[in-house]
Structure 1
Amino acid sequence: MPSSITQNWQTFSAQLAHTGQRRLVLLEGEQEWARGWVQEWLGGFDVAGALWVGRDEDAGVAGVRGVSSAQYKRWLGQETGVLVWDGWQGNPPDGFAGLAGTLRAGGLLFWLMPPLAQWPGFEDPDYSRTGLDGAGEHRFLARLAEVVASDGAVVRVRQGIDECPVLPDVRCDDAAFRPGATAEQSELVARLVRFGLGRRRRPVVVTADRGRGKSAALGMAAAELLLAGRQQVLVTSPSVDNLQSFFRHAAEVMGDRVESRSESELVLPGGQAIRFLPVPELLAQKPEAEVVMVDEAAGLPASWLREVLLGWPRVAFASTVHGYEGTGRGFAIRFRQVLDREAPHWQSVELNQPVRWAQGDPLERVLFRMFLLGARGPDSSKPKPGAVSVEPWNPAQASEAELAEAFGLLVDAHYRTTPADLRQWLDDPAASSWRAVVQGKTVGVLWGCVEGGLDQDLAAQVAMGQRRMRGHLLAQSLASHGGFAEAAQQRCFRVVRIAVAEPARQLGVGRALVAAAEEFCRSQGLDSLGTSFGGEAGLQSFWQGCGLRLVRIGLTREHSTGEFPVQLLKGVSPAGSDLEQRLRRRFARHWQVLIPRHWADMPPELLAQLAADLPATAEPGPDDWQDLRSFAEGYRGFEVTLPLLREVCSWPGWMAWLAGQEDAGLWCRAVLQGWAWPQLQALGLVTGKREGEMRLRQIVARWLAQVSEL
């Protein structure tokens, strides 16, 4: 690259650093030309710490660190001045948005792509991972091209057209931008210190967009707490790699008073320490600590966050508001219910002023537009009954305003909605959507996709665990785990997401959306309507109210929600209805064996609710009645009666009746989940074995009395 051109880029970079800006540089052309251009550019600059996302050999030629887009979470919380993203190797939206957030003021993001006009038909290598390959025109990339083309701050370098573009003249005033603490951040540090030294059970929830210094504030506050006399501050996060800023700022506050340090620990001479523990270890070990801090909380399952909240006297949570590890707004909405119930005196703090770049940063602005990071559901009042209409809707053909409203609803309603979901919604050819509208505003949305339809041989291989197809989440799960190859052969419409604006809830909007999807199934000759979600009592009640029935519970918790996946189905065709009944009967026969092995820690209220939805598989005989009376009215022991008590749970009507009983939770824990009396006593569920057995006897006695009256 000629020295004059290099000088122009150096001046441009210096102007960006002076004003606190970052920029996107789009290289449009053939792969090898774009790679060669960037490699030559990098040769004229100090690029220590630069990252190249793409092929390691290309990064090696440029003399910079190569990373995989799949490893982006390792770099959250770190900083770089130059990021090269080779889009020819794939463009997973979450990784792109995530790593863009590592660029500091003055940073440049080089994006290597075909010419903008070719984006709608560009077969992104990342599509094969998500089942979007071969879909033809891709609306998601077409939309990104429109956003980028309309943003005058994006620097476009086009092969054969303007390979040495005229760079924007960035106006620099006398005051240079200096990354550092804002008054807002300093106040947060002081507030966190007051919280850490103050009364118990006053948790703090900090939300901010990326680059606002929340991790740094946590680190500085943790250090101040040790210097003020606290003995141990624990910090957790999805990864210790996310906490580099936290530990760096904590160490700066503590200065030469640090006796020993590592990437996950700072210790003072008196033994006072700040330590990182992954959440599973934190919950398993339960170490003593006056304060626990949770960074990037939206990236952790809600069930873990609740356990942390209840396990220590002072807990602070921090989360990114608009993110790719999970949206802070979805986190706040879902987790607020837990906070209101368990710690009603919790405090909320927001950070708005950027710390690592200037307000109005051009790169942040274009990223927000590209991935709808600022999308919000519409502001609306409670609609009048009958004012809501449901209509088919295609997000790929919607206006930007409509799309932002609908995607904002998904962000608000779901714990983890990311840019990757936006791409899947716009580009999946098997997807169909509906929206509920009031006076032109979207108040509800349903997104689903057609699954299954595999040929007989392939479906049989899926059922035997010999093959796994991309996509087809529900169809494959019911075939391989449920044991019925027909589940992969039949065509099912799976509801991927459903969301209703807060003012429009409890008005039947959600049910109307599901009814529209069911009518679509009938009109298209599909076999069933189904869904899969993280098990939660309110959601289970909603789907049961829509006529869907339990057919499977996953054996391990979902990483995203921390809940066990629950799968429900409603047969629409005769074949679909037959499959639904067969799946339910088989699962009802097997579920009790799996409970103590896989669902021993499932919330008992949810377990009772799910079990009540299963068909009965056993009928009582004369000897069973006698044994129950001996247990309820006499002194027949719990352990010798336990096999019968478990069998009772498969009798007609028992679980539905039990779900409404005060001691249903004790029954589920002791009888179905196999908890020992010391476990039950340790959690305060019983005072001891004798009292626990007495309460179980009373449950059986009440049921026997009711049955005898019928």
Structure 2
Amino acid sequence: MPPGLLGGGEPDAWRRLQRRLQQRGERRLVLLEGERSKALRWLKALLPALALEPGVWTGPEAESPSGTLASLAPRHARQWLGRELSVVVWDGWQGNPPDSFAALSGTLRAGGLLFWLMPPMEQWSDFEDPDYARTGLDQLPRHPFAARMANILATEPSLIRIDLGSTVPTSLPDLAERDAGFVVQTTGDQQELIERLVQFGLGRRRRPVVVTADRGRGKSAALGLAAAELLQRGRRQVLVSAPSRDNVEALFRHAREALGDDLLKASESSLQTRAGGCLRFVAIRELLAERPEAEVVLVDEAAAIPAPLLKQVLLGWPRVGFSSTVHGYEGAGRGFAIRFRQILNRETPHWQSITLAAPVRWSASDPLEPLVSRLFLLAAENREPVSERVSPGDVTIEPFDPVDATDSELSDAFGLLVDAHYRTTPADLRQWMDAPSARSWRARTGNITVGILWGAVEGGLSPDLAEQVTLGQRRIRGHLLPQSLASHSGFPEAASQGCLRVVRIAVSDSVRRHGIGRLLVAKAREAASQEGLDTLGTSFGGSPELLAFWRSCALRVVRLGLNQEATSGEYPLQMLSGISKAGERLVSQLSERQAEHWLALLPLAWPALEPGLLADIGAGLPATERLDDQDRRDLHSFGHGHRGFLLSLPVLRKTSMVRHVGAWLRTQEDLALWVGAVMQQRDWPALQADGLCLGQREGEDRLRALIRQLLQKGPEL
């Protein structure tokens, strides 16, 4: 390589840069623009002069520019969370999954360098990123998401650009030396958190703590230090849980160091003290299945755990602390804060909230974190409207194209999606901006976005292809709802008809319940009709509130998924509304088919479904049963006589699907018992264990009383 091409003239200049960055508590992004082979030769010449350990390389292991770097596939970036790196060499020629890039950038310590191998920036808009293939974004003429990143980087003063096609050496930034060098140490925020966590762990029951902070603020370290102090002050069992063991690496490292000579025995997932105390990691589902005794339970990265599971943890132990990243690549932090706060207010009104603001792993002057945040909208915020008294007449509903939006408008809109949905990530932003199937509308008051609907045109497959999808012989990217309905419900028309699927819909928290969401759906439906589509649909983790909203928009349940979603812990619920005559006919067929299978599938597929939601879904399905004289006589014998429960069960289940009975049952106090015993067919010991009855005799007596009420005051049978 010709002399001088390393930038700044010599490797010494890069060593000085790395030392000065460490002294200032900063990090830098270095963009290597040009041929990949030149970039690799450039790195092989430079890297031996730099501090690399620990460091990672995301390209093929055999092509690593340094044997010192650990090879890491981008999709495994999560494995390095909770650790700290000196250098990351990101091979963008192999693909740029946004979530992984954003996650890995946060592992760089002060003085760290992030080398990014890419084509020249002017080519990014049509660069065929290998990562697009798995998302259905390949073979597109342009990529606005990448073009936006290039536009941001082109004017970023902290970026170090290396033009591999130029013979002119790059000038490295001349950074002033600080009077006092940067040192990673406990901040005032962090010390206060440790003290409050110790008070919580030694204090009264039912006073949970929720810790929220941006990444790099040292919350995991604070949890580890507090856990160690709790053991030193007499607590015997402190349990830690998280989405994975890797997430608590920093927590355990700080706890181990803090225990010092008090530590008797240590393993990857357990620390034991000489006094008999134990800090132990337990995976979340194992924790809930085994219910081990503990005085304190700490849940790190709680935003990545389904809210129903967090609620079980909250109610299962006397002292529970939760920690979550607010802004981050996971896209779940603020949504977690909003939804989980509702559970906390209801179940444990004396809960405490603690926030960390000051960064620990880098200084406040570090430019990399705000740059990555801007590239991927990690901190996207929606501005609240000036007045909460917003009526539908004050709101304008209009098409919205994220590609043409200003950064402020895009942050407004994407911030709403992050707040409203369990997990909206940088990968979603890329999909929203790049996918030609995307259709979006926004609700605004003045120039402030108060609602956003992101939809995607799906379906429209040829009859032959639709038949193959129905038979499970083909899977087509980009057609989530039509493909699911065709393959699971058995109707090829679901895949051949055109559908507008609502991918996300969000309304600003302060103006909810003003009908803005329904206005957005109505506008989307109108546009879908003009485009000649057959149906409007959606797929979401089922909840009573969302079910009620979509029913208010005239959508009907056409499918309930058989497996709980990994992210939310909820069963996927799919709803559809007909637009064309063919679409209306399909919706009726799908809904009737779901109703026909409802009672048979209930005890096998949905044993964990919440009774109220189950009843709501069933009440909205078409009535499939009619009682004859013999059925009515059996009901009378059960309610007013001594006919056995098992002998009566067939007619009781049949009664559930008689017209208007489901809606009537929904209003009864013993709905949960009816759902568990009759519809889900759970045994009496299980019902008793869940507190739904005192035993079989008492449970049967209550069901008999419910049938008497139905016969006397319920709908006509």
Matched, 1:688 2:688: no
Query: Are the aligned partners of 1:447 and 1:496 in contact in 2 as well (CA < 8 Å)?
Result: yes
Corresponding residue of 2:485 = 478
Aligned partner letter, 2:87: V
Matched, 1:218 2:210: no
Matched, 1:125 2:130: yes
**Whole-angstrom distance in 2 between the partners of 1:182 and 1:576:** 60
Corresponding residue of 1:145 = 150
Q: 1:378 Cα shift?
A: 1.3
Question: Which of 363, 382, 398 is matched with 2:388 structurally?
Answer: 382
**Whole-angstrom distance in 2 between the partners of 1:43 and 1:227:** 44
User: Which deviates more from structure 2 when the two are superposed, residues 532-541 or residues 412-421?
Assistant: 412-421
Taking the TM superposition and a 5 Å limit, the aligned residue runs for 1:545-694 are: 545-694=552-701
Taking the TM superposition and a 5 Å limit, the aligned residue runs for 1:149-548 are: 149-161=154-166, 164-380=169-385, 381-385=387-391, 386-548=393-555
Query: Are the aligned partners of 1:121 and 1:136 in contact in 2 as well (CA < 8 Å)?
Result: yes
Q: What SS is found at the alignment partner of 2:211? A: strand
Matched, 1:7 2:12: yes
User: Which deviates more from structure 2 when the two are superposed, residues 585-594 or residues 103-112?
Assistant: 585-594
Give deviations 1:340-378, integer Å, cap 9, x for gaps. 111111111100101100013110010111011111111
**Whole-angstrom distance in 2 between the partners of 1:312 and 1:605:** 26
User: Which deviates more from structure 2 when the two are superposed, residues 446-455 or residues 699-708?
Assistant: 699-708
Q: 1:135 Cα shift?
A: 2.1
**Whole-angstrom distance in 2 between the partners of 1:685 and 1:38:** 66
**Whole-angstrom distance in 1 between the partners of 2:400 and 2:482:** 24
Query: Are the aligned partners of 1:157 and 1:163 in contact in 2 as well (CA < 8 Å)?
Result: no
In structure 2, stretches of 5+ residues that fail to align are none
Q: What SS is found at the alignment partner of 1:526? A: coil
Q: What SS is found at the alignment partner of 1:471? A: coil
Give deviations 1:370-394, integer Å, cap 9, x for gaps. 0111111112122442111101111
Q: 1:168 Cα shift?
A: 0.3
Q: What SS is found at the alignment partner of 1:610? A: helix
Query: Are the aligned partners of 1:234 and 1:276 in contact in 2 as well (CA < 8 Å)?
Result: yes
Q: 1:209 Cα shift?
A: 0.6
Q: 1:709 Cα shift?
A: 7.5
Q: 1:458 Cα shift?
A: 1.5
Matched, 1:17 2:29: no
In structure 1, stretches of 5+ residues that fail to align are none
Give deviations 1:497-538, integer Å, cap 9, x for gaps. 000011221111000000011101110110100000001110
Q: 1:154 Cα shift?
A: 0.5
**Whole-angstrom distance in 2 between the partners of 1:254 and 1:379:** 46
**Whole-angstrom distance in 2 between the partners of 1:694 and 1:54:** 67
**Whole-angstrom distance in 2 between the partners of 1:473 and 1:384:** 35
Q: What SS is found at the alignment partner of 1:481? A: helix
Corresponding residue of 1:55 = 60
Give deviations 1:147-200, integer Å, cap 9, x for gaps. 111110010001122663110011112200001211110110110000011111
User: Which deviates more from structure 2 when the two are superposed, residues 325-334 or residues 566-575?
Assistant: 325-334
Q: What SS is found at the alignment partner of 1:84? A: strand
- CA RMSD in angstroms comes to 1.4
Q: 1:657 Cα shift?
A: 1.3
**Whole-angstrom distance in 2 between the partners of 1:677 and 1:52:** 57
Aligned partner letter, 1:185: Q
Aligned partner letter, 2:388: K
Classify 1:236/1:388 alpha carbon distance in 2 versus 1 (closer, same or farther; 3 Å): same
**Whole-angstrom distance in 1 between the partners of 2:589 and 2:276:** 61
Corresponding residue of 2:44 = 39
Q: What SS is found at the alignment partner of 1:374? A: coil
Query: Are the aligned partners of 2:80 and 2:104 in contact in 1 as well (CA < 8 Å)?
Result: yes
**Whole-angstrom distance in 2 between the partners of 1:575 and 1:338:** 42
Aligned partner letter, 1:346: W
Q: What SS is found at the alignment partner of 1:396? A: coil
**Whole-angstrom distance in 2 between the partners of 1:360 and 1:560:** 35
**Whole-angstrom distance in 1 between the partners of 2:358 and 2:58:** 29
Task: Work out the percentage of aligned pairs sharing the same amino acid.
Answer: 55
Query: Are the aligned partners of 2:664 and 2:715 in contact in 1 as well (CA < 8 Å)?
Result: no
**Whole-angstrom distance in 2 between the partners of 1:312 and 1:708:** 44
Query: Are the aligned partners of 1:208 and 1:352 in contact in 2 as well (CA < 8 Å)?
Result: yes
Q: What SS is found at the alignment partner of 1:27? A: strand
**Whole-angstrom distance in 1 between the partners of 2:424 and 2:99:** 10
Query: Are the aligned partners of 1:60 and 1:66 in contact in 2 as well (CA < 8 Å)?
Result: no
**Whole-angstrom distance in 2 between the partners of 1:451 and 1:644:** 41
**Whole-angstrom distance in 1 between the partners of 2:246 and 2:21:** 27
Aligned partner letter, 1:198: G
Classify 1:579/1:260 alpha carbon distance in 2 versus 1 (closer, same or farther; 3 Å): same
**Whole-angstrom distance in 2 between the partners of 1:501 and 1:531:** 20
Q: 1:597 Cα shift?
A: 1.9
Aligned partner letter, 1:234: L
Q: 1:652 Cα shift?
A: 1.1
**Whole-angstrom distance in 1 between the partners of 2:459 and 2:168:** 48
Query: Are the aligned partners of 2:240 and 2:298 in contact in 1 as well (CA < 8 Å)?
Result: yes
Query: Are the aligned partners of 2:390 and 2:511 in contact in 1 as well (CA < 8 Å)?
Result: no
Q: What SS is found at the alignment partner of 1:416? A: coil
Give deviations 1:11-62, integer Å, cap 9, x for gaps. 0000000000011001110121112222322122232221011211122754
Q: 1:679 Cα shift?
A: 1.5
Q: What SS is found at the alignment partner of 1:397? A: coil
User: Which deviates more from structure 2 when the two are superposed, residues 686-695 or residues 606-615?
Assistant: 686-695
How does the TM-score come out when normalised to structure 2?
0.97
Q: What SS is found at the alignment partner of 1:669? A: helix
Q: 1:690 Cα shift?
A: 1.6
**Whole-angstrom distance in 2 between the partners of 1:137 and 1:709:** 61
Q: What SS is found at the alignment partner of 1:11? A: helix
Classify 1:99/1:708 alpha carbon distance in 2 versus 1 (closer, same or farther; 3 Å): closer
**Whole-angstrom distance in 1 between the partners of 2:155 and 2:701:** 72
Aligned partner letter, 1:523: Q
Q: 1:120 Cα shift?
A: 0.8
User: Which deviates more from structure 2 when the two are superposed, residues 667-676 or residues 157-166?
Assistant: 157-166
Aligned partner letter, 2:369: E
Q: 1:598 Cα shift?
A: 2.2
Corresponding residue of 2:119 = 114
Query: Are the aligned partners of 1:39 and 1:62 in contact in 2 as well (CA < 8 Å)?
Result: no
**Whole-angstrom distance in 2 between the partners of 1:183 and 1:656:** 56
**Whole-angstrom distance in 2 between the partners of 1:130 and 1:303:** 29
